[in-house]
């Protein structure tokens, strides 16, 4: 029976490359000259420390630009609130979203069931397995999920005939 998996996986090497490129750009840009701006990655969080809100916004734009250049979907970045850091600085935290939350899995499952396609959707931890008798039904499910704009990047992997 044909099947495939719906997952949300991140390429951490590409994320590290994007952060390195953004850091390099910060050191060469004129508007960041003399400022103490840093980008650090700790497990599944990215911490940006800079002088003011305007520079934090520019770093945010840079991060998104470099993520797109490295073919990492910027939807995986979840921006948290800005907070004061020591020494009259601002700290901006970003979470890297990996895996599909249980509530989102249930929403996707209900959307697929309401579409009346002849497929079964099973929740396996933080990913979904879709099975059906016809490849066309599976491709319809892929199209349905891409059009749904669920707010996180998803990949379709492990396609079996």
- For residue range 6-23, list pLDDT tens digits in order: 999 999 999 999 999 999
* pLDDT tens by residue, 27-48: 999 988 888 899 999 989 999 9
3-state SS, the chain, equals CCEEEEECCCCHHHHHHHHHHHHHHHHHCHHHCCCCCEEEEECCEEEEEECCHHHHHHHHHHHHHHHHHCCCCHHHEEECCCEEECCCEEEEEEEECCCCCHHHHHHHHHHHHHCCCCEEEEEECCEEEEEECCHHHHHHHHHHHHHHCCCCCCEEEEEEC
Confidence of residue 85 (pLDDT cuts 50, 70, 90): confident
Region 87-116 average pLDDT: 90
Nearest residue to 103 via CA among 94, 111, 95: 111
CATH architecture classification, 12-96: 2-Layer Sandwich (3.30)
Domain with CATH 3.30.70.990 in the chain: 12-96
CA atoms within 13 Å, Cβ hemisphere of 31:
8
How far from 158 is each of 87, 107, 155, CA to CA, in Å?
50, 22, 10
For the chain, give the mean pLDDT.
90
Q: Which residues of 82-114 are buried (b: 16+ CB within 10 A; e: fewer)?
A: eeeeeeebbbbbbebbeebeeebbeebbeebee
Domain with CATH 3.30.70.860 in the chain: 3-8+99-160
Percent of the chain exceeding pLDDT 90 equals 46
Tell me: pLDDT of 90 over 90: yes
CATH architecture classification, 3-8+99-160: 2-Layer Sandwich (3.30)
**pLDDT of the residue at 91:** 93
Angstrom distance (rounded) from CA 25 to CA 151 = 28
């Amino acid at each position: 029976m044909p099947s495939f998996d719906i997952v949300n996986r991140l390429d951490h090497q590409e994320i590290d490359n994007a952060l390195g490129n953004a850091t390099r750009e910060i050191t060469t840009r004129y508007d960041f000259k003399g400022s103490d701006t840093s980008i650090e990655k700790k497990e599944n969080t990215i911490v940006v420390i800079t002088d003011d809100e305007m520079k934090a916004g520019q770093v945010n734009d840079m991060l998104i630009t470099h993520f797109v250049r490295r073919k990492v979907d910027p939807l995986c970045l979840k921006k948290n609130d800005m907070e004061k850091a020591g020494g009259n600085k601002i700290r901006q935290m970003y979470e890297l979203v990996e895996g599909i939350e249980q509530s989102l899995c249930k929403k996707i499952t209900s959307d697929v069931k309401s579409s009346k396609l002849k497929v079964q959707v099973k929740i396996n931890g933080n990913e979904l397995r879709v099975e059906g008798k016809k490849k066309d039904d599976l491709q319809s499910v892929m199209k349905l999920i891409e059009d749904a704009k669920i707010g996180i990047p998803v990949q379709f992997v492990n396609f079996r005939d």
